[in-house]
Amino acid sequence: MNPRKRPQLLLILAALATLMCRCSLDSGAPVKLSFSDGSSVQCRRYTVYIATWNDPYGSTSDYDCEIPCPDGSTVKVEHLSRQQVGAEDETQDAEVLQSWQAQYCPVDPSTGGATRVPSTSSPAPTMTAMAARTATPSATAAPRPLLTGAVSACDLTQGFINFTLAQPPLDISSKVLNVRFNNIPARCSIPRVNPNVLTCNIPAGARPPVNISVTLDGVLVNSFNYSGAGCTSPKPNNPNQDKPPVNPTPTDWQG
């Protein structure tokens, strides 16, 4: 045998050693994936046959899923593996869906890579309207603040803090919210049980006193310092607080 043809033969044998195919007669089984934020994704599960020398009848599953995007569109993603989808009968963390949206959904460059639902309050301006605005500059109104700067509750033991919302509260359902403690991102939300506060998890290494900055769609709407006044914290252990007072003796005075 020609030695030069030997590597090509090895590649062909390696390709034949493992064969994967999805049966053309398999129309897929419907699967609904649920997430912790109440959202869901519709998928179809297919059987993929994997024939190897050791297991000629091996098989696994993959999924074609319709990923809902924040802009209202839907993206079909094919051949998601079982590891990517996870357990079908369990509610998965919403971060799984968010990672798919960040990977497969259209990206709005104005948000620096984050996806968002665009506002439907008015149509996009025409070129004529944009030219008119450019020709007649006007003063830009300052953005409305989201927070008043006041704190209604703070617990360093539990690791949370509640900021009072400015009234009337802004509608942030379609905006990208970014809250930072000393430039460290924090996870924040408006709880349904108390829509007048913004509750945040205090990031590690960012306990008061801190600077709080808030942006909506990349626009700074709040920046203030919080001293930590009113925060509850665990009391330090005092090793002498339970000991009774000791009266001095002549030995103590070296008498």
Model confidence over 114-164: pLDDT tens digits? 444 444 344 555 555 555 555 555 556 788 999 999 999 999 888 999 999
Give domain status of residue 87, yes or no. Answer: yes
Long-range contacts of 5-13 (CB under 8 A, 24+ apart): none
For 95-109, 153-167, 200-214, which range has the lowest pLDDT when averaged over its residues?
A: 95-109
Please, is 97 exposed, middle or buried when counting C-beta atoms within 10 Å of its C-beta (0-12, 13-18, 19+)? Answer: buried
Give domain status of residue 63, yes or no. Answer: yes
pLDDT at 217: 93
Maximum distance among all alpha carbons in the chain?
109
In order, the DSSP letters of 172-230 are -TTS-EEEEETTEEE-EE--TT-TTEEEEEPPTT-PSSEEEEEEETTEEEEEEEE--TT
Strands across the sheet containing 177-181: 184-186, 177-181, 210-216, 219-226
Mean model confidence pLDDT for the chain? 77
Do 18 and 81 fall within a single domain? yes
222 or 55, greater pLDDT: 222
Given a cut of 80, is residue 223 above it in pLDDT?
yes
**Per-residue confidence at 221, pLDDT binned at 50, 70, 90?**
very high
242 or 76, greater pLDDT: 76
Domain interval for residue 74:
14-107
Which residue matches tokens 């079909």?
76
Q: Tell me if 60 sits within 8 A of 45, measured CB to CB.
A: no
Domain total of the chain: 2
Give domain status of residue 151, yes or no. Answer: yes
Given a cut of 70, is residue 88 above it in pLDDT?
yes
Do 23 and 85 fall within a single domain? yes
250 or 193, greater pLDDT: 193
Give domain status of residue 221, yes or no. Answer: yes
Give domain status of residue 252, yes or no. Answer: no
170 or 7, greater pLDDT: 170
Structure tokens at 222: 């709040």
Give domain status of residue 188, yes or no. Answer: yes
**Per-residue confidence at 62, pLDDT binned at 50, 70, 90?**
confident
Domain of 183: which CATH number? 2.60.40
The residue length of the chain stands at: 255
Do 31 and 100 fall within a single domain? yes
Query: For residue 60, what are the contacts with CB-CB under 8 A and spacing of at least 6?
Result: 47, 48, 50, 82
At residue 232, what is the residue type? T
What count of other Cβ atoms lies within 10 Å of the Cβ of residue 130? 11
**Per-residue confidence at 108, pLDDT binned at 50, 70, 90?**
low
pLDDT at 255: 40
pLDDT at 120: 39
